[in-house]
Structure 1
Amino acid sequence: MEGLRLVVLALVVVFGYSDQHRAGPLPLVIWHGMGDSCCNPFSMGAIKKMVEQQIPGIYVLSLKIGNTIAEDMENSFFFNVNKQLDIVCEQLAKDPRLQNGYNGMGFSQGGQFLRAVVQKCPSPPMKNLISIGGQHQGVYGFPRCPGESSHICDWIRETLNVGAYTKVVQEHLVQAEYWHDPLNEAHYRNGSIFLADINQERSINESYKRNLQSLEKFVMVKFLKDSMVDPADSEWFGFYKPGQSKVTMTLQESSLYTEDRLGLREMDKAGKLVFLAADGDHLSFTDKWFNENILPFLN
């Protein structure tokens, strides 16, 4: 009998240690913004390094769409978002280090793309979603464009202004897929192949709502001096009031919230929505601000 007790005790110690050993920091998945790449040492590479220094032992996956850094950057402009999501969801599902859950952190358009991951691909589960400058109600304007190729930016501006909702543009221009025209909401709802879908503009997909509500926290960062996102309120799920492009409304004033088509009203009342502000231009913040405001949601 004494021998049996010793065996049981040994098993408890071994498996208890094993569980403790596995229960390290929750992994982090990062999705970069337009014109950026997974591993730019001055952007995503620096963020990855900072997180790894602040949270020893954490596994950070910075998503790369394509076989090379150049492809990854190009795909942020020209590769259908829904196809990108298929690739990412498959990658996450196959990564053994993510199977017990992870946190997501998206920068600029990567913010709404990771939200789509939550809604479409609930396994493995995302615990907290941190959207830094993500345009959750889309954009209606293209003031600036990152990257070295100004001719690409000029071409995108012209294309969006002329035919954002044509089939060929929607299929092949990422920014058109979250172009939101407040002057013609019906045109937007019927033509948008990405944003109108994940924002439940045409019909209600209950799984989208249920999956988003599974988050513990949905953190949205708005840049108070943002000169790129138009309107900047989109970073907090606000947007222009329908029919004009001057006066904005908050998330709480929108039909998306009052009708609770996405479950955001219920999440807000449950304290799951977190609205943070950064006093700078688009994606401009200090290490100190990041450590004080973002790191707590990664631990």
Structure 2
Amino acid sequence: MKSALATAALLAAPAAAYHACADEERASYPKLCGLLDDVAKDEAAFADMLAKSPISTVMEEIEMPAARKLADGEASALPIVVAHGMGDSCFNSGMKSITKAAGVKVGAYSTCIPTGTSRIKDTINGFLLNMDASVDVFAEGVKADENLKDGFNAFGLSQGNNLIRGYIQKYAGEPGYPAVSTFMSINGINAGVGAFPNCAPDAKHIGGICSGLTEILGDLAYNSFVQGILFQANYFRDPSKTDSDKYKKYSQLAQWENEGDDVDPSRNDKFTAVDQYVWVLGTEDTVVWPREGEQWGAMDPEDPFKTLLPMNETAWYQEDKFGLRTVDEAGKNAFEQFDGNHLQFTNDELMGWLEKYFM
């Protein structure tokens, strides 16, 4: 049987060059276009810069648990799919380690599905392959892996959760695309972010990545050009713009939440078909703002930068825009937290969550 890592290497992102800016685009977005120029000049150097920047979420290798032996008559646990954060790659040793450890812990097949054919492509695509397109590639990796055909559990790290959540709402249960039983979102950006992580316009030490991202804050994020390229722009949710025409028309996240112009009831059906959700919050997270979005809290649109609404007071919950209230009332939501910054959970905490929810 082929693994998802091998099949995704065949099916991953298109071989065509990344977007080259037209003159009008370059005039409006000089810094973003400068980043695209850097990619064209040297993909390897650009990928290394992304991986080393403070905005990346590259995982370190973790301690391998003792191998689990099945008891007599005990069924094997469902296979596990893992999705990595920005700046990271399934081809990196840290992600290989965490993927293997998860499988060893629960006694099941475990795989990390990339969206690029190599470490370089997989890293860059975490920025320059937009969210919807990334989900499409991720879904083909799932579909091609015969080990997953009867369903799987999944967990994501940071931005990787958007791939799993997108797969659930767009593909899961369709012919050839297996269902997700339990989805554990660790520091997930499912609810979007109201500011880019750890970025300041003068952050010269990270090669202008932050200045390229902050250039599109506000209305400049919500147009077909930026939304068609930048993964981070796709889940940028300015709490003061959620009622704007541009946000509703162009934001990929707005469509996913059924708070944009493209309202699709099938997103609710697929979201509610999952058996269980686990939403893991980092209590000191400074990367995701607001950090409470990791458990579906959101800033109040009436007071967008001061007042935080808990999950059950948000519009997407009260109006059940995509199925969050339905799964909550059905008892399918579980909530965990750890004391630490973004993805700074301990090995014991991760193994405990896997044992509690995947075994």
| TM-score w.r.t. length of structure 2 | 0.72
Gaps of 5+ in 1: 1-19
- SS for the counterpart of 2:215 is helix
Q: Is contact 1:131-1:220 (8 Å) kept?
A: yes
Query: Distance in 1 between the 2:319 and 2:288 partners?
Result: 26
Query: Distance in 2 between the 1:90 and 1:21 partners?
Result: 33
Q: How does 1:129-278 map to 2 (within 5 A)?
A: 129-144=183-198, 149-161=206-218, 163-187=220-244, 189-202=247-260, 203-243=262-302, 244-278=304-338
| TM-score w.r.t. length of structure 1 | 0.86
- SS for the counterpart of 2:153 is strand
Query: Distance in 1 between the 2:74 and 2:116 partners?
Result: 31
Query: Distance in 2 between the 1:85 and 1:136 partners?
Result: 13
Q: Does 1:112 align with 2:169?
A: no
- SS for the counterpart of 1:186 is coil
> Residue 281 of structure 1 aligns with which residue?
341
Q: Is contact 1:112-1:131 (8 Å) kept?
A: no
Residue range with higher mean Cα deviation, 155-164 or 117-126: 155-164
Gaps of 5+ in 2: 1-71, 200-204
Q: Which portions of structure 1, spanning 4 or more consecutive aligned residues, are displaced by more than 4 angstroms?
A: 20-23
> Residue 69 of structure 1 aligns with which residue?
119
Query: Distance in 1 between the 2:263 and 2:208 partners?
Result: 39
RMSD value, Cα: 2.1
Query: Distance in 2 between the 1:125 and 1:198 partners?
Result: 18
How has the CA–CA distance of structure 1 residues 150 and 231 changed in structure 2, closer, same or farther, with 3 Å as cutoff?
farther
**How many Å apart are 1:64 and its aligned residue?**
1.0
Q: Does 1:45 align with 2:96?
A: yes
Letter in 1 for 2:256: I
Letter in 1 for 2:343: L
Aligned partner of 1:125 among 172, 176, 179? 179
Aligned partner of 1:84 among 109, 131, 134? 134
> Residue 54 of structure 2 aligns with which residue?
none
> Residue 293 of structure 1 aligns with which residue?
353
Letter in 2 for 1:27: P
| Deviation readout 1:74-122 (Å, 9 max, x if unpaired) | 1101111111111121221222111110011111111122111111111
| Deviation readout 1:229-284 (Å, 9 max, x if unpaired) | 11101101111100421211011001111111222112112110111111100011
**How many Å apart are 1:149 and its aligned residue?**
4.0
> Residue 6 of structure 1 aligns with which residue?
none
Percent of residue pairs bearing the same amino acid type: 32
Query: Distance in 1 between the 2:131 and 2:214 partners?
Result: 18
